Structure formats: C-alpha cells, structure tokens
Amino acid sequence: MRRLGKYSIGLGDRFGRQGRAQLRALEMARGLGVEVAPVWNKSHREHTLLHSQPASVRREADEATAALGWPGDYHVDADHIRLATVAPFLETHDFFTLDIADFIGQPDGPDDAHAFITRHHDLASKLEIPGLDEPQSFSPEGLAVVVRRYLPAVREAGRIYRRIASARGAGSFITEISMDEVAAPQTPEELLVILTAVADEGIPLQTIAPRFSGLFAKGVDYQGDVAQLAGEVDRHLCVLRHARRALGLPADLKLSVHSGSDKLSLYGPLRRILRRHDAGIHLKTAGTTWLEELIGLCESGGDALAMVKEIHAGARGRLRELCGPYASVLALDPARLPPLETVAGWGGATFARALRHDPACPGYDPHLRQLLHVAYPLAGEMGARFLEALDRHAETVARNVTANIFERHLRPLFLDDRDAAA
C-alpha cells in the first residue's frame, strides 16, 4: 500500500509557480533532522476558478522534486474531492481527500443504522479506550442518533474510494477523509463510530480531518480555546491508536488538521501532544503561498505593487462574491477593513506588513489578509500579466514563500524543542 510519512504537509499553490520555494523549506527541516513529506494539493473548486487542469499540479511536483533532488516521498492530492468531481484527478494524483461533509445527517436506507448497531452492539457499552479520560457510554438511543448522522457520509466515502480504486488499483494511492467544514465538532466517541464504519467499508484510511472546536479561519490564527482544542486532539489520538489496533485500520493512520496554515497559537501545544503520543500529523496549509506571492510583489514595488493594489480594489468591489464560498471559514469584518483610499496610498513595505502574518507587528491587518486570501480569482483573471509578474520578481517572492513555510509552520510544529535542546 502507498504510504504517507509520519509527518506531512499539504502545500497549496494556486498558480503553480512556487513548488521549488516550498520544497526548499522542507529541505531546511530535513537538514535539521525532521522528515516532512510534501503533498501538493489543489481542489476542484480552485481548478475551476483558475481554469487550470489537475495534471498541472503533478507537473509542478515532479519538476520541483527533480530540480532540487528531493530524496524522499512526495504526493499530489485531489483536495476535497467528491464522486462527481473525481474523474479528472484519477490519472495524475496519488492522494485523494474525500470530502463527505455534505452527506453528514443525510437519510440512509431504513435498515442500515439498525444493521450497523446490531453488528457493533458493543459500541453501546462504555468505551474502554486506553488513555481516554472519562470515556462516555452510548445509550442505545444515543448510539442510533450518531450512527444515523454519520453512516450515510461514510457510505459515500466508500463509493468514492471504490471509484478511485477501480481506476487506479487498490493500494496505489493515499486516502484521507475530511469532515472539517461542518458546524459542530466530532466527539471522540463519534470519531470511533465513524472509524468503525470506515473499517466496515474497507477503506484503508491513512488520515482523517475532523472538525475541531473554535474557528479555523483561512490564513489567520486559531480563534477559540487553545487548551480545549489541545484536549480534543489528545483524545482523538487515543481513539486513532485504539482504532488501528481494534478495527484493523492502517498502522499509519493519523490526524489531519485542515486550514492549518497560520494557526500559530496551536503549534506549540500540538508539537508537545504529538511527541507525547509519538504520533504523526498531516497539516494542510491552504492558500498561504498565494499571500506570500502578494507580499513579495508588494516588496518589489513599482508595477508589481500597483498590481496588488488593483487586486485589492477589485476584491473590495466583489467582496460578497469572493467570500461566499468560504463563509464558514472566514472571520472577516468588512467594517474593519482599511479605507480603499488609504490602501491606495501605501508603499510596498506598509502593504507587506499589513499582509504578513506577524501578530506582533502593529501594521498587521487580519481582515485585509483574509480578504486577499479569497481574492485569488482576480489574479487568475489577469492571466499572463500576473504570472509574468511572479516570474519577474521570482527571487523576492520565493524568499517569502520559503520563510513562511519554514519559520511559521515547520519550525514551531516540528523543530522548536530540538533547537532549544541544542
């Protein structure tokens, strides 16, 4: 079976220009003794908005790893895929994130939940999971509610998985299940029911992205109770360890944190929990690289800065359209955006400070950052003009891309304790 490394990171790259710059950050981590597998990802929605093709992501990954002589594994992820959208990814991708959020709570066959509960009647008793504090008991009625809520979604995951396996061959790809973009987080007990259903479906699951408490807004820090979330991660890891042993799921099954880019306040607690459990993680960094491209263009000044201001002005005029698809994962208050004329007068350094995710910097503006995070379709509409700007200012852009991934993601999540010990 195709294996995913203990640590892996999803590298979104909207315009396919930063593969080498992203990989350099992973080379730096490797040089310090931590192997993190790169997973280039791009969703059907992003391809549609930018009129790109899935094969372009494979080309970017192959070119970057060849150019830098990358010695480890790497993967290409069909991000947030569904049965209706999977076909264009089948030939070139080896990692599939099955998005089943819309099927949670949907009606299933009248006898399906009853059959599941009969087959797994022991789930209604106290959950004896080593390391799980105060495990809960399911009443028969409570178990039925959970099963009816999640079983249709897992059944849909089974249908998508079998479609991929029929085209590519079982064992030739990595499977992830995503449930993060829903209203309510899953409890550890619900996660166990979900994983039991996954085992029933015969899905060789290697990573799962649950919904955690708090808000994982795009491109900005976590908003919520960090201690509460750390406790959720700790309990979920206990459930995953139990599921690998008791349900026969793959030995490398691990937790995935989606929209993980820039959750700076979480990386220290996550690092300590992962080390205590000796557990792996898949961190998906969303559209952070696109913002670093804008920062690099701001720093370059001249026509490049003018282009960023043009994108910003266009985004202000199309705010509702751009934010709509991301409404559940944004914390953007339009009333707190800087006046359009103020931004128009900014120099490159001021604009870069507003965009760069440095909460200690007085000039940092999380609302502006979120607006531009979802404004990438406007750059896509510029076509060759935007891509040529990236190429002209490639060195400045790449420096920002590499530093962002290494300094804000890899170092705090995987390396800080090692640096302190050294």
pLDDT given for residue 420 in this prediction? 44
At 140 the three-state DSSP class reads helix
Q: State the alpha helices, DSSP H only, in 110-172.
A: 112-119, 140-168
pLDDT given for residue 75 in this prediction? 98
190/315 same-domain check: no
210/293 same-domain check: no
Give the distance, in angstroms, between the CA of residue 34 and the centroid of all CA atoms in the same chain. 20
95/67 same-domain check: yes
Q: What is the pLDDT along the chain (422 residues), one digit of tens a residue?
A: 889 999 999 999 999 999 999 999 999 999 999 999 999 999 999 999 999 999 999 999 999 999 999 999 999 999 999 999 999 999 999 999 999 999 999 987 768 888 998 998 877 665 667 666 665 567 778 888 999 999 999 999 999 999 999 999 999 999 999 998 888 899 988 999 999 999 999 999 999 999 999 999 999 999 999 999 999 999 999 999 989 998 999 999 999 998 878 999 999 999 999 999 999 999 998 678 999 999 999 999 999 999 999 999 999 999 999 999 888 889 999 999 999 999 999 999 999 999 999 999 999 999 999 999 999 999 999 999 999 999 999 999 999 999 999 999 999 999 987 544 43
**pTM for the structure as a whole:** 0.94
Q: How many whole angstroms separate alpha carbon 339 and alpha carbon 316?
A: 10
H/E stretch holding 257: strand 254-257
At 80 the three-state DSSP class reads strand
Report the percent of the chain where pLDDT is more than 70.
95
H/E stretch holding 265: helix 264-277
Looking at this protein, which amino acid is placed at residue 300?
S
282/369 same-domain check: no
Q: How many whole angstroms separate alpha carbon 265 and alpha carbon 357?
A: 12
Q: How many whole angstroms separate alpha carbon 200 and alpha carbon 357?
A: 43
118/222 same-domain check: yes
Q: Name the domain boundary from 220, 252, 286.
A: 286
53 class by beta-carbon count within 10 Å (0-12 exposed, 13-18 middle, 19+ buried): middle
Q: How many whole angstroms separate alpha carbon 83 and alpha carbon 63?
A: 29
Q: What is the pLDDT of residues 150-193, one digit of tens each?
A: 999 999 999 999 999 999 999 999 999 999 888 889 998 899 99
Residue 18 within a domain: yes
Q: Which domain holds residue 156?
A: 7-286
pLDDT given for residue 122 in this prediction? 79
Query: Given its phi and psi angles, is residue 171 left (phi above 0), alpha (psi -120 to 50 degrees) or beta?
Result: left
Each residue of 258-270: b (16+ CB within 10 Å) or e?
bbbbbbbebbebb
Residue 420 within a domain: no
Looking at the structure of the chain, the number of domains it has is 2
70/171 same-domain check: yes
150/276 same-domain check: yes
Residue 413 within a domain: no
234/358 same-domain check: no
User: Domain of 51: which CATH number?
Assistant: 3.20.20.70
